[in-house]
Amino acid sequence: MKVVVDLKLCEGNMRCQEAAPEVFEVGDDDRSRVLIENPTGATLERVRLAARLCPRQAITIEDK
Amino acid sequence: MQAEQQQFSLDTLNIIGPDHYAKNGYPHAEWTYLRKQKPVFWCEFPNTDPFWAITKYADIVQISKQPRLFNNSQRLLVFVPDAPAEPDPVPPFRHLLNMDPPDHGDFRSIVSRRFTPRAVRELEPEIERITGEVLDRMVDRTSCDFVIDISSKIPLAVIAELLGVPHQDWEKLFRWTNQVIGGGDPEFQEGTNSDETFDRARMELFTYFTDMVARRMKNPTNDITSIVANSSINGTPMPQFEMLSYYFLLVVAGNETTRNATTGGLLALIENPEQFHRLKQDRSLVKSAVEEIVRWTSPVIQFARTATQDTEVRAQKIRQGESVCLFYPSANRDEDVFENPFKFDVGRNPNPHIAFGIGEHFCLGANLARLELEVIFRQLAERLDYAELAGPVERLRSSFVGGIKHMPIKCQMKPATMQ
Protein backbone atom coordinates (compact mmCIF):
# COMPACT_ATOMS: atom_id res chain seq x y z
CA MET A 1 0.00 0.00 0.00
CA LYS A 2 1.38 3.38 -0.97
CA VAL A 3 -0.24 6.81 -0.99
CA VAL A 4 0.91 8.92 -3.94
CA VAL A 5 0.15 12.52 -4.92
CA ASP A 6 0.53 13.36 -8.61
CA LEU A 7 2.34 16.70 -8.38
CA LYS A 8 1.47 17.55 -11.98
CA LEU A 9 -2.18 17.60 -10.95
CA CYS A 10 -1.97 18.89 -7.37
CA GLU A 11 -2.73 22.60 -7.02
CA GLY A 12 -2.94 22.91 -3.26
CA ASN A 13 -6.71 22.92 -2.92
CA MET A 14 -6.26 21.72 0.69
CA ARG A 15 -9.00 19.12 0.69
CA CYS A 16 -6.57 16.31 1.55
CA GLN A 17 -5.09 18.17 4.49
CA GLU A 18 -8.57 18.90 5.79
CA ALA A 19 -9.61 15.25 5.47
CA ALA A 20 -6.41 13.61 6.79
CA PRO A 21 -4.07 16.19 8.35
CA GLU A 22 -1.78 13.50 9.76
CA VAL A 23 -1.07 12.21 6.24
CA PHE A 24 -1.12 15.27 3.97
CA GLU A 25 0.58 18.60 4.38
CA VAL A 26 0.14 21.36 1.81
CA GLY A 27 3.27 23.50 1.81
CA ASP A 28 4.06 27.05 0.78
CA ASP A 29 4.66 25.74 -2.72
CA ASP A 30 0.93 24.85 -2.92
CA ARG A 31 1.75 21.18 -3.29
CA SER A 32 0.65 18.36 -1.04
CA ARG A 33 3.28 16.25 0.70
CA VAL A 34 2.57 12.71 1.92
CA LEU A 35 3.72 12.30 5.52
CA ILE A 36 2.67 8.68 5.98
CA GLU A 37 2.92 6.53 2.88
CA ASN A 38 1.27 3.38 4.23
CA PRO A 39 -1.49 4.37 6.64
CA THR A 40 -3.79 1.79 8.21
CA GLY A 41 -7.16 1.58 9.91
CA ALA A 42 -9.11 4.77 10.46
CA THR A 43 -6.26 6.81 8.98
CA LEU A 44 -6.48 4.83 5.76
CA GLU A 45 -10.20 5.52 5.63
CA ARG A 46 -9.51 9.24 5.90
CA VAL A 47 -6.96 8.94 3.09
CA ARG A 48 -9.60 7.25 0.92
CA LEU A 49 -11.94 10.13 1.69
CA ALA A 50 -9.18 12.60 0.75
CA ALA A 51 -8.65 10.78 -2.55
CA ARG A 52 -12.37 11.00 -3.29
CA LEU A 53 -12.58 14.68 -2.37
CA CYS A 54 -9.44 15.85 -4.18
CA PRO A 55 -10.75 18.29 -6.78
CA ARG A 56 -8.13 17.36 -9.32
CA GLN A 57 -8.11 13.66 -8.40
CA ALA A 58 -4.38 13.79 -7.76
CA ILE A 59 -4.25 11.17 -4.99
CA THR A 60 -3.92 7.46 -5.65
CA ILE A 61 -3.63 4.60 -3.22
CA GLU A 62 -1.50 1.96 -4.85
CA ASP A 63 -1.87 -1.63 -3.72
CA LYS A 64 1.42 -3.43 -3.52
CA MET B 1 -39.66 19.97 -7.48
CA GLN B 2 -40.21 16.55 -5.91
CA ALA B 3 -41.24 15.13 -9.23
CA GLU B 4 -39.58 11.80 -8.62
CA GLN B 5 -42.58 9.81 -9.72
CA GLN B 6 -43.07 11.56 -13.03
CA GLN B 7 -42.99 9.36 -16.10
CA PHE B 8 -41.62 10.41 -19.46
CA SER B 9 -41.36 8.92 -22.89
CA LEU B 10 -37.75 8.54 -23.95
CA ASP B 11 -38.78 9.51 -27.48
CA THR B 12 -39.93 12.99 -26.55
CA LEU B 13 -37.95 13.75 -23.41
CA ASN B 14 -36.05 17.02 -23.85
CA ILE B 15 -33.18 18.01 -21.58
CA ILE B 16 -31.22 20.25 -23.92
CA GLY B 17 -33.66 22.67 -25.56
CA PRO B 18 -32.95 26.19 -24.26
CA ASP B 19 -36.64 27.12 -24.13
CA HIS B 20 -37.27 24.66 -21.33
CA TYR B 21 -34.58 26.33 -19.26
CA ALA B 22 -35.98 29.81 -19.91
CA LYS B 23 -39.52 28.80 -18.97
CA ASN B 24 -39.09 26.26 -16.19
CA GLY B 25 -35.50 26.28 -15.04
CA TYR B 26 -33.73 22.94 -14.72
CA PRO B 27 -35.44 19.74 -15.97
CA HIS B 28 -34.95 17.96 -12.63
CA ALA B 29 -37.94 15.68 -13.12
CA GLU B 30 -36.54 14.50 -16.43
CA TRP B 31 -33.05 14.02 -15.02
CA THR B 32 -34.43 12.10 -12.06
CA TYR B 33 -36.28 9.83 -14.47
CA LEU B 34 -33.13 9.29 -16.54
CA ARG B 35 -30.97 8.54 -13.50
CA LYS B 36 -33.36 5.71 -12.67
CA GLN B 37 -34.30 4.46 -16.12
CA LYS B 38 -31.60 5.40 -18.59
CA PRO B 39 -28.50 6.91 -16.98
CA VAL B 40 -26.52 6.69 -20.24
CA PHE B 41 -29.02 7.94 -22.77
CA TRP B 42 -28.53 8.51 -26.50
CA CYS B 43 -30.00 11.88 -27.50
CA GLU B 44 -30.74 13.20 -30.94
CA PHE B 45 -32.03 16.73 -31.30
CA PRO B 46 -32.36 19.07 -34.28
CA ASN B 47 -29.40 21.35 -35.06
CA THR B 48 -26.90 19.55 -32.89
CA ASP B 49 -24.79 16.39 -33.15
CA PRO B 50 -26.14 13.45 -31.15
CA PHE B 51 -24.66 12.74 -27.74
CA TRP B 52 -24.90 10.45 -24.73
CA ALA B 53 -26.60 12.19 -21.79
CA ILE B 54 -24.77 11.24 -18.57
CA THR B 55 -26.84 11.94 -15.47
CA LYS B 56 -25.30 9.84 -12.64
CA TYR B 57 -22.71 11.28 -10.27
CA ALA B 58 -20.41 8.24 -10.39
CA ASP B 59 -20.34 8.22 -14.20
CA ILE B 60 -19.50 11.91 -14.45
CA VAL B 61 -16.65 11.41 -11.98
CA GLN B 62 -15.36 8.37 -13.84
CA ILE B 63 -15.38 10.19 -17.19
CA SER B 64 -13.85 13.38 -15.76
CA LYS B 65 -10.96 11.41 -14.28
CA GLN B 66 -9.87 10.16 -17.70
CA PRO B 67 -9.08 13.27 -19.75
CA ARG B 68 -7.14 11.29 -22.35
CA LEU B 69 -9.91 8.78 -22.96
CA PHE B 70 -12.57 11.51 -22.94
CA ASN B 71 -11.16 14.70 -24.37
CA ASN B 72 -12.34 18.32 -24.35
CA SER B 73 -10.89 19.64 -27.57
CA GLN B 74 -13.32 18.04 -30.00
CA ARG B 75 -16.55 19.22 -28.44
CA LEU B 76 -16.69 21.67 -25.56
CA LEU B 77 -20.40 21.47 -24.83
CA VAL B 78 -23.68 20.55 -26.44
CA PHE B 79 -24.71 23.75 -28.13
CA VAL B 80 -28.22 23.92 -29.57
CA PRO B 81 -28.59 26.77 -32.07
CA ASP B 82 -32.02 27.84 -33.29
CA ALA B 83 -31.19 27.07 -36.91
CA PRO B 84 -28.85 24.58 -38.53
CA ALA B 85 -25.36 26.02 -38.19
CA GLU B 86 -22.28 25.46 -40.28
CA PRO B 87 -19.64 23.92 -38.05
CA ASP B 88 -16.75 26.32 -37.49
CA PRO B 89 -13.70 25.14 -39.44
CA VAL B 90 -11.55 26.58 -36.67
CA PRO B 91 -12.77 27.00 -33.07
CA PRO B 92 -13.25 30.68 -32.16
CA PHE B 93 -10.95 30.35 -29.15
CA ARG B 94 -8.43 28.00 -27.62
CA HIS B 95 -8.34 28.10 -23.87
CA LEU B 96 -8.34 25.77 -20.85
CA LEU B 97 -11.85 24.50 -21.52
CA ASN B 98 -11.07 23.11 -24.95
CA MET B 99 -7.51 21.96 -24.33
CA ASP B 100 -6.35 18.46 -23.42
CA PRO B 101 -3.31 17.17 -21.54
CA PRO B 102 -0.46 17.94 -21.69
CA ASP B 103 -1.19 21.45 -23.05
CA HIS B 104 -3.99 22.00 -20.60
CA GLY B 105 -1.72 21.58 -17.58
CA ASP B 106 1.00 23.80 -19.06
CA PHE B 107 -1.44 26.64 -19.74
CA ARG B 108 -3.31 26.21 -16.49
CA SER B 109 -0.20 26.39 -14.31
CA ILE B 110 0.50 29.93 -15.55
CA VAL B 111 -2.19 31.37 -13.32
CA SER B 112 -3.21 28.51 -11.04
CA ARG B 113 -1.18 29.77 -8.09
CA ARG B 114 -3.32 32.91 -8.09
CA PHE B 115 -6.38 30.79 -7.34
CA THR B 116 -5.25 28.53 -4.49
CA PRO B 117 -7.07 28.84 -1.14
CA ARG B 118 -3.99 30.59 0.24
CA ALA B 119 -3.78 33.10 -2.60
CA VAL B 120 -7.46 33.98 -2.69
CA ARG B 121 -7.57 34.44 1.11
CA GLU B 122 -5.48 37.57 0.58
CA LEU B 123 -8.32 39.01 -1.48
CA GLU B 124 -10.82 38.66 1.35
CA PRO B 125 -10.59 42.24 2.70
CA GLU B 126 -11.08 43.60 -0.81
CA ILE B 127 -14.08 41.34 -1.45
CA GLU B 128 -15.52 42.38 1.93
CA ARG B 129 -15.15 46.02 0.94
CA ILE B 130 -16.69 45.56 -2.52
CA THR B 131 -19.62 43.58 -1.11
CA GLY B 132 -20.17 46.07 1.70
CA GLU B 133 -20.36 48.95 -0.75
CA VAL B 134 -22.83 47.14 -2.99
CA LEU B 135 -25.08 46.38 -0.01
CA ASP B 136 -24.74 49.92 1.38
CA ARG B 137 -26.48 51.22 -1.73
CA MET B 138 -29.54 49.15 -0.81
CA VAL B 139 -30.00 50.60 2.67
CA ASP B 140 -32.33 53.39 1.58
CA ARG B 141 -34.27 51.31 -0.90
CA THR B 142 -37.20 48.98 -0.36
CA SER B 143 -36.92 47.05 -3.61
CA CYS B 144 -34.38 46.16 -6.27
CA ASP B 145 -33.50 43.80 -9.10
CA PHE B 146 -31.21 41.51 -7.14
CA VAL B 147 -29.27 40.55 -10.28
CA ILE B 148 -28.63 44.01 -11.65
CA ASP B 149 -28.16 45.76 -8.31
CA ILE B 150 -26.34 43.13 -6.28
CA SER B 151 -25.35 39.69 -7.57
CA SER B 152 -23.81 40.81 -10.87
CA LYS B 153 -21.86 43.67 -9.29
CA ILE B 154 -19.62 41.71 -6.96
CA PRO B 155 -18.02 39.06 -9.20
CA LEU B 156 -17.64 41.68 -11.93
CA ALA B 157 -15.69 43.97 -9.62
CA VAL B 158 -13.54 41.10 -8.32
CA ILE B 159 -12.50 39.67 -11.69
CA ALA B 160 -12.00 43.16 -13.14
CA GLU B 161 -9.62 44.03 -10.30
CA LEU B 162 -7.74 40.74 -10.67
CA LEU B 163 -7.29 41.47 -14.36
CA GLY B 164 -6.46 45.13 -13.76
CA VAL B 165 -9.33 46.43 -15.89
CA PRO B 166 -10.06 50.07 -14.97
CA HIS B 167 -13.44 50.91 -13.49
CA GLN B 168 -14.76 52.81 -16.51
CA ASP B 169 -14.54 49.60 -18.58
CA TRP B 170 -16.36 47.26 -16.21
CA GLU B 171 -19.66 47.72 -18.03
CA LYS B 172 -18.00 46.34 -21.15
CA LEU B 173 -16.95 43.18 -19.34
CA PHE B 174 -20.52 42.81 -18.11
CA ARG B 175 -21.98 43.22 -21.59
CA TRP B 176 -19.51 40.83 -23.24
CA THR B 177 -20.23 38.18 -20.63
CA ASN B 178 -23.98 38.48 -21.20
CA GLN B 179 -23.56 38.30 -24.95
CA VAL B 180 -21.22 35.31 -24.87
CA ILE B 181 -23.35 33.25 -22.50
CA GLY B 182 -26.74 34.71 -23.35
CA GLY B 183 -26.41 35.05 -27.12
CA GLY B 184 -29.34 32.64 -27.49
CA ASP B 185 -31.55 34.87 -25.37
CA PRO B 186 -33.47 37.67 -27.14
CA GLU B 187 -32.60 40.14 -24.36
CA PHE B 188 -28.88 39.95 -25.09
CA GLN B 189 -28.91 39.25 -28.81
CA GLU B 190 -27.11 41.64 -31.11
CA GLY B 191 -27.17 41.00 -34.82
CA THR B 192 -29.26 38.24 -36.29
CA ASN B 193 -28.51 35.22 -34.14
CA SER B 194 -26.57 33.82 -31.21
CA ASP B 195 -23.49 33.06 -33.32
CA GLU B 196 -23.24 36.65 -34.49
CA THR B 197 -23.81 37.98 -30.98
CA PHE B 198 -21.14 35.69 -29.62
CA ASP B 199 -18.67 36.60 -32.31
CA ARG B 200 -19.06 40.35 -31.97
CA ALA B 201 -18.54 40.18 -28.22
CA ARG B 202 -15.55 37.90 -28.65
CA MET B 203 -13.94 40.24 -31.20
CA GLU B 204 -14.53 43.31 -29.03
CA LEU B 205 -12.98 41.55 -26.06
CA PHE B 206 -10.02 40.37 -28.15
CA THR B 207 -9.42 43.90 -29.41
CA TYR B 208 -9.69 45.37 -25.93
CA PHE B 209 -7.17 42.93 -24.47
CA THR B 210 -4.80 43.24 -27.44
CA ASP B 211 -4.28 46.85 -26.36
CA MET B 212 -3.92 45.92 -22.74
CA VAL B 213 -1.40 43.16 -23.54
CA ALA B 214 0.78 45.66 -25.42
CA ARG B 215 0.78 47.95 -22.38
CA ARG B 216 1.56 45.09 -19.97
CA MET B 217 4.40 43.83 -22.14
CA LYS B 218 5.96 47.27 -22.02
CA ASN B 219 5.26 47.84 -18.34
CA PRO B 220 4.61 44.59 -16.48
CA THR B 221 2.42 44.80 -13.39
CA ASN B 222 1.21 42.29 -10.84
CA ASP B 223 -2.25 41.68 -12.31
CA ILE B 224 -3.30 38.49 -14.09
CA THR B 225 -3.42 40.24 -17.46
CA SER B 226 0.27 40.99 -17.07
CA ILE B 227 1.16 37.49 -15.92
CA VAL B 228 -0.51 35.92 -18.96
CA ALA B 229 0.86 38.59 -21.32
CA ASN B 230 4.42 37.88 -20.23
CA SER B 231 4.14 34.11 -19.92
CA SER B 232 5.93 31.33 -21.76
CA ILE B 233 4.88 27.79 -22.53
CA ASN B 234 7.86 25.41 -22.54
CA GLY B 235 10.19 28.31 -23.21
CA THR B 236 8.16 29.91 -26.01
CA PRO B 237 6.04 33.05 -25.47
CA MET B 238 2.34 32.25 -25.37
CA PRO B 239 0.81 32.68 -28.85
CA GLN B 240 -1.54 35.63 -29.18
CA PHE B 241 -4.65 33.62 -30.00
CA GLU B 242 -4.27 31.48 -26.87
CA MET B 243 -3.46 34.58 -24.85
CA LEU B 244 -6.60 36.45 -25.90
CA SER B 245 -8.63 33.29 -25.42
CA TYR B 246 -7.30 33.09 -21.86
CA TYR B 247 -8.72 36.54 -21.00
CA PHE B 248 -11.95 35.66 -22.73
CA LEU B 249 -12.29 32.63 -20.46
CA LEU B 250 -11.37 34.47 -17.25
CA VAL B 251 -13.81 37.32 -17.92
CA VAL B 252 -16.74 35.10 -18.81
CA ALA B 253 -16.18 32.35 -16.25
CA GLY B 254 -15.38 34.84 -13.51
CA ASN B 255 -18.65 36.67 -13.96
CA GLU B 256 -21.38 34.38 -14.97
CA THR B 257 -21.19 31.47 -12.56
CA THR B 258 -20.78 33.30 -9.27
CA ARG B 259 -23.51 35.73 -10.23
CA ASN B 260 -25.95 32.90 -10.81
CA ALA B 261 -24.95 31.00 -7.69
CA THR B 262 -25.55 34.18 -5.70
CA THR B 263 -28.94 34.84 -7.26
CA GLY B 264 -30.04 31.22 -7.07
CA GLY B 265 -28.75 31.07 -3.50
CA LEU B 266 -30.87 33.98 -2.34
CA LEU B 267 -33.85 32.52 -4.21
CA ALA B 268 -33.37 29.23 -2.36
CA LEU B 269 -33.21 31.12 0.95
CA ILE B 270 -36.40 33.04 0.11
CA GLU B 271 -38.16 29.81 -0.84
CA ASN B 272 -36.89 28.07 2.31
CA PRO B 273 -37.33 30.79 4.96
CA GLU B 274 -36.59 28.38 7.81
CA GLN B 275 -33.13 27.81 6.29
CA PHE B 276 -32.55 31.55 5.98
CA HIS B 277 -33.58 31.96 9.60
CA ARG B 278 -31.23 29.16 10.63
CA LEU B 279 -28.32 30.80 8.82
CA LYS B 280 -29.05 34.17 10.40
CA GLN B 281 -29.12 32.59 13.85
CA ASP B 282 -25.91 30.62 13.35
CA ARG B 283 -23.31 32.29 11.12
CA SER B 284 -20.93 29.38 11.62
CA LEU B 285 -23.10 27.69 8.97
CA VAL B 286 -21.95 30.09 6.24
CA LYS B 287 -19.38 27.70 4.78
CA SER B 288 -21.74 24.75 4.58
CA ALA B 289 -24.52 27.05 3.34
CA VAL B 290 -22.26 28.16 0.49
CA GLU B 291 -21.51 24.54 -0.47
CA GLU B 292 -25.23 23.79 -0.40
CA ILE B 293 -26.00 26.84 -2.53
CA VAL B 294 -23.42 25.72 -5.07
CA ARG B 295 -24.81 22.16 -5.07
CA TRP B 296 -28.39 23.43 -5.26
CA THR B 297 -27.84 25.95 -8.05
CA SER B 298 -25.11 24.10 -10.02
CA PRO B 299 -24.78 27.08 -12.37
CA VAL B 300 -22.93 25.17 -15.09
CA ILE B 301 -25.45 22.81 -16.65
CA GLN B 302 -23.18 20.75 -18.87
CA PHE B 303 -19.88 20.23 -20.58
CA ALA B 304 -19.14 17.56 -23.17
CA ARG B 305 -16.32 15.07 -23.67
CA THR B 306 -15.50 13.00 -26.75
CA ALA B 307 -14.31 9.40 -26.59
CA THR B 308 -10.86 8.98 -28.15
CA GLN B 309 -11.33 5.20 -28.44
CA ASP B 310 -14.10 2.66 -28.00
CA THR B 311 -15.01 2.36 -24.35
CA GLU B 312 -17.87 1.75 -21.93
CA VAL B 313 -19.82 3.74 -19.38
CA ARG B 314 -22.08 1.75 -17.04
CA ALA B 315 -21.76 -1.20 -19.47
CA GLN B 316 -23.02 0.94 -22.34
CA LYS B 317 -20.67 0.85 -25.31
CA ILE B 318 -19.42 4.33 -26.33
CA ARG B 319 -17.70 4.42 -29.71
CA GLN B 320 -14.64 6.45 -30.60
CA GLY B 321 -15.74 9.90 -31.74
CA GLU B 322 -19.06 9.85 -29.89
CA SER B 323 -19.56 12.51 -27.28
CA VAL B 324 -20.94 12.39 -23.78
CA CYS B 325 -22.72 15.31 -22.15
CA LEU B 326 -22.13 15.63 -18.39
CA PHE B 327 -25.14 17.09 -16.59
CA TYR B 328 -23.70 18.43 -13.34
CA PRO B 329 -26.98 19.56 -11.70
CA SER B 330 -28.29 16.02 -12.14
CA ALA B 331 -25.20 14.52 -10.47
CA ASN B 332 -25.75 16.92 -7.58
CA ARG B 333 -29.25 15.52 -7.00
CA ASP B 334 -28.14 11.89 -7.27
CA GLU B 335 -30.01 9.77 -4.70
CA ASP B 336 -27.04 7.39 -4.48
CA VAL B 337 -24.79 10.16 -3.17
CA PHE B 338 -26.97 12.71 -1.37
CA GLU B 339 -29.47 12.05 1.38
CA ASN B 340 -32.73 13.85 0.59
CA PRO B 341 -31.17 15.43 -2.49
CA PHE B 342 -34.19 17.66 -3.07
CA LYS B 343 -33.97 19.20 0.35
CA PHE B 344 -32.12 22.52 0.57
CA ASP B 345 -30.17 22.20 3.81
CA VAL B 346 -27.67 24.91 4.78
CA GLY B 347 -26.04 22.52 7.25
CA ARG B 348 -25.61 19.62 4.82
CA ASN B 349 -22.59 17.49 5.69
CA PRO B 350 -21.03 15.71 3.88
CA ASN B 351 -21.66 17.59 0.64
CA PRO B 352 -19.34 16.22 -2.05
CA HIS B 353 -21.05 18.04 -4.91
CA ILE B 354 -19.32 18.35 -8.27
CA ALA B 355 -20.74 21.68 -9.37
CA PHE B 356 -17.13 22.80 -10.03
CA GLY B 357 -16.42 19.60 -11.95
CA ILE B 358 -13.68 17.22 -10.86
CA GLY B 359 -10.28 16.06 -12.12
CA GLU B 360 -8.16 17.62 -14.85
CA HIS B 361 -10.65 20.41 -15.64
CA PHE B 362 -11.82 21.18 -12.09
CA CYS B 363 -12.88 24.83 -12.02
CA LEU B 364 -9.76 26.98 -11.77
CA GLY B 365 -11.69 29.71 -9.94
CA ALA B 366 -13.49 27.46 -7.46
CA ASN B 367 -11.64 28.78 -4.41
CA LEU B 368 -12.27 32.36 -5.47
CA ALA B 369 -15.95 31.64 -6.14
CA ARG B 370 -16.27 29.99 -2.72
CA LEU B 371 -14.69 32.97 -1.01
CA GLU B 372 -16.89 35.46 -2.86
CA LEU B 373 -20.00 33.50 -1.96
CA GLU B 374 -18.86 33.18 1.64
CA VAL B 375 -18.41 36.93 1.98
CA ILE B 376 -21.67 37.70 0.18
CA PHE B 377 -23.83 35.32 2.20
CA ARG B 378 -22.16 36.21 5.49
CA GLN B 379 -22.97 39.87 4.87
CA LEU B 380 -26.47 39.09 3.64
CA ALA B 381 -27.12 36.97 6.74
CA GLU B 382 -26.04 39.93 8.88
CA ARG B 383 -27.69 42.74 6.98
CA LEU B 384 -30.64 41.50 4.95
CA ASP B 385 -33.45 41.70 7.47
CA TYR B 386 -36.10 40.74 5.06
CA ALA B 387 -36.51 39.73 1.40
CA GLU B 388 -39.34 38.43 -0.72
CA LEU B 389 -39.97 38.10 -4.43
CA ALA B 390 -41.68 41.12 -5.95
CA GLY B 391 -42.22 39.67 -9.41
CA PRO B 392 -41.39 36.74 -11.61
CA VAL B 393 -37.86 35.35 -11.76
CA GLU B 394 -36.65 35.73 -15.36
CA ARG B 395 -34.41 32.91 -16.50
CA LEU B 396 -31.82 32.88 -19.24
CA ARG B 397 -32.63 31.05 -22.45
CA SER B 398 -29.61 28.75 -22.31
CA SER B 399 -28.94 25.07 -21.76
CA PHE B 400 -25.30 25.75 -20.86
CA VAL B 401 -25.53 28.13 -17.91
CA GLY B 402 -28.50 28.20 -15.56
CA GLY B 403 -28.81 31.94 -15.52
CA ILE B 404 -31.22 34.27 -13.79
CA LYS B 405 -31.45 37.54 -15.71
CA HIS B 406 -33.72 39.40 -13.33
CA MET B 407 -35.05 38.79 -9.86
CA PRO B 408 -37.15 41.64 -8.49
CA ILE B 409 -37.29 41.60 -4.71
CA LYS B 410 -38.71 43.68 -1.89
CA CYS B 411 -36.09 43.94 0.77
CA GLN B 412 -34.83 45.68 3.86
CA MET B 413 -31.09 46.07 4.20
CA LYS B 414 -29.53 47.23 7.45
CA PRO B 415 -26.54 49.57 7.51
CA ALA B 416 -23.28 47.79 8.20
CA THR B 417 -22.54 47.42 11.88
CA MET B 418 -19.53 49.38 12.98
CA GLN B 419 -16.53 47.19 13.68
- What does the pLDDT read at residue B2? 53
Q: Which of A11-33 are b and which e, b meaning 16 or more Cβ less than 10 Å from the residue's Cβ?
A: bbbbbbbebbeebbebeeebebe
pLDDT band for B86, please (50, 70, 90 cuts).
confident
Instruction: Assess contact for B364 and B117: CB atoms under 8 A.
Output: no
> Which residue of B64, B117, B360 is in closest CB contact with A13?
B117
Nearest to B362 among A12, A14, A55 (CB): A55
CATH number of residue A6's parent domain? 3.30.70.20
Band (pLDDT 50/70/90 cuts) for residue B49 is very high
B42 in contact with chain A, both atoms CB, cutoff 8 A: no
C-alpha dist (Å) from residue B257 to B52, B291, B368: 25, 14, 11
- For residue B418, the model assigns a pLDDT of 59
Over the stretch B271-329, which tens digit does the pLDDT of each residue have? 999 999 999 999 999 999 999 999 999 999 999 999 999 999 999 999 999 999 999 99
- Tell me the ipTM for this assembly: 0.93
Nearest residue in chain B measured CA to CA from A51: B359
Confidence of residue B88 (pLDDT cuts 50, 70, 90): confident
Q: Domains along chain B?
A: 18-413 (1.10.630.10)
Average pLDDT of chain B to the nearest whole number: 95
The percent of residues above 90 in pLDDT, for chain B, comes to 91
For B414, which DSSP code?
Answer: P
Per-residue pLDDT band for B6 (boundaries 50, 70, 90) equals confident
Residues of A in contact with B366 (CB under 8 A): 13, 55
pLDDT given for residue B374 in this prediction: 98
Whole domain around residue A29: which residue ranges? 2-62
Q: Which of A8, A11, A24, A59 to mutate to test the interface with B (most CBs of B within 10 A)?
A: A11
- pLDDT tens sequence across B167-191: 999 999 999 999 999 989 999 998 8
Closest Cα in chain A to B359 = A56
Chain A interface residues (partner B, CB cutoff 8 A): 8-9, 11-14, 30, 52-53, 55-57
Instruction: Count the domains in chain A.
Output: 1
Is pLDDT of B18 > 80?
yes
Instruction: Write the pLDDT tens digit of every residue in A12-52.
Output: 999 999 999 999 999 999 999 999 999 999 999 999 999 99
Q: Can you give the three-state secondary structure of B77-139, one letter per residue?
A: CCCCCCCCCCCCCCCCCCCHHHCCCCHHHHHHCCCHHHHCHHHHHCCHHHHHHHHHHHHHCCC
Q: Residues of A with CB below 8 A from B117's CB? A: 12-14
Which class for B413: exposed (0-12), middle (13-18), buried (19 or more C-beta within 10 A)?
Answer: buried
> Taking Cα atoms as reference points, which of A57, A56, A47 lies closest to residue A24?
A47
- In total, the C-beta contacts within 8 angstroms joining chain A to chain B are 37
- The reported pLDDT for the residue numbered B299 is 98
Q: Spell out the residues 6+ positions from residue B90 whose beta carbon is closer than 8 angstroms to its own.
A: none
- Are B358 and A13 an interchain contact pair (Cβ–Cβ within 8 Å)? no
